[in-house]
Amino acid sequence: MIIPILVSVSTALVSTLPLLLILDVSGASGATTTTATSMSMATGVAATAAACNNSPSLCSRAYTNVTYMGAHDSPFLRDASTGNSIAGDQYYNATVALDGGIRLLQGQVHDLNGRLELCHTSCALLDAGSLESWLSKIRHWMDGNPNEVVTLLLVNSDSKNASAFGGDFEASGISKYGYTPRSPTAAASSSSSSSTTTTGGWPTLQELIDKDKRLVTFIAPLPAYSPSYPYLLDEFTHVFETPYDVKSLDNFTCNLDRPAAKYSSVADAIEAGMMPLMNHFAYTEITSDIEIPNAGDVDTTNSPSNTTTGALGAHAQRCESEWTGAKPVFILVDFFDRGPAIDAADALNGIQGKTMGRESPGQSSTSDSAARATSSMRGDMGTTTRAVALVAFCAVALVIL
């Protein structure tokens, strides 16, 4: 049975946070859902030249002239490990995402008794383990994939400082890959004499690979830059975002949402060298205060189609048009395997059908998506009596980046 409770809590980020707590007293909540996950090699061309981020043609491109497909809330899974929690935004973890070509991993970091922990909204509700452990797994993947450039975007939910994050980056061993741009405390073009505003100051993928500085890390926000951890960058010094709280597939826009007030328009932000991040995930509104990730429509949301309302391809094409040719550098999606989302990035990068070295999680149909969501909901409504998971939906914190 479900016991919905509306409460308000305070956090450093949002003063009032409406939460719906669902006390799940069912048995194997959603655990009966089975997922056919055939692993198959993506079709690719023969390896005639070394690929950078799955394509030889990306090697000579500036970091800022590539579109990276990203997994929003990457650590927060809707799979067996969480009892198919409907607070989860992804069906597959970060390692599977990287194998499938995802090159941007986003997550929320909280303070759990002094330890940095990956938690969705709150650690009591969805705790995906320590930041250090997760970073170790990313480092392990990067060790085995030396031609790949990876970007992290970590939401600093409890306003921790650079040394708190830096400690985990060092302990996990991933700090050795950390890239420090020429001017870490200013957007690219303001520190560069380059004539191109969007590439000023940032090297090519090949240069990052050659130096083995293949990890770009943004923290949202980083309270103060620390020269001791120079590779930890404040997101909103380098990146601007489109709106993230979208509740209808016809409501994706290309407007500047954050950093608020710093730039008067997208054009100003791009002129200043800010890299665009296009948020492209939708929520389903249960009540006016409660939203959950919209899994039912995700095959549309993540579609590479340029003509379907709400599709990833159409949203990106609209932004490129409104931004007079500038493409999103970063895109965040839920359930990255659907669409599959990576196809839209390949189209933007001009490499569709020509990638190599990917291993994609099995694709499944829209009906399976609906069935999975339904099954998950049904699981929460089960009647057996194991008092277990407290699942939280949060109208605000769930979507904070």
Ligand X SMILES: *[C@@H]1O[C@H](CO)[C@@H](O)[C@H](O)[C@H]1NC(C)=O
> Which positions lie near ligand X, rule CB under 6 A?
61-62, 65, 93-96, 134, 137, 160-161, 163-164, 196, 198-199, 247-248, 250-251, 304-306, 313, 317, 347, 352
20 vs 268: CA distance, rounded Å: 39
- Contact between 211 and 147 (Cβ < 8 Å): no
Length of the chain: 401
Calpha distance 195→172 (Å, rounded): 38
At 79, the amino acid letter reads: D
72 belongs to the catalytic site: yes
Q: How far is the CB of 141 from ligand X (least distance, A)?
A: 8
Q: Considering the complex, what minimum distance in angstroms separates the CB of residue 1 from ligand X?
A: 31
Taking the least distance from each CB to ligand X, the nearer of 168 and 235 is 168
CB 259 within 8 Å of CB 243: no
Nearer to ligand X, 251 or 366 (CB): 251
> Cβ of 98: how many Cβ atoms within 10 Å?
23
Closest to ligand X by CB, 26 or 204? 204
The yes-or-no answer on residue 238 being catalytic is no
Minimum distance between the CB of residue 391 and ligand X, rounded to whole angstroms?
20
Q: How many Å apart are CA 232 and CA 226, to the nearest integer? A: 8
Q: Check 120, 238, 280, 315 and give the catalytic one.
A: 120
Please report how close the Cβ of residue 75 comes to ligand X at its closest, in angstroms: 7
**CB of 203 or CB of 382, closer to ligand X:** 203
Beta strands in 24-172 (DSSP E): 40-41, 68-71, 104-112, 115-119, 127-130, 150-156
Q: Are 11 and 378 in contact (CB under 8 A)?
A: no
In DSSP terms, 110 is beta-bridged to: 117
Of the candidates 72, 110, 238, 315, the residue annotated as catalytic is: 72
Q: Which are the catalytic amino acids?
A: 72, 120
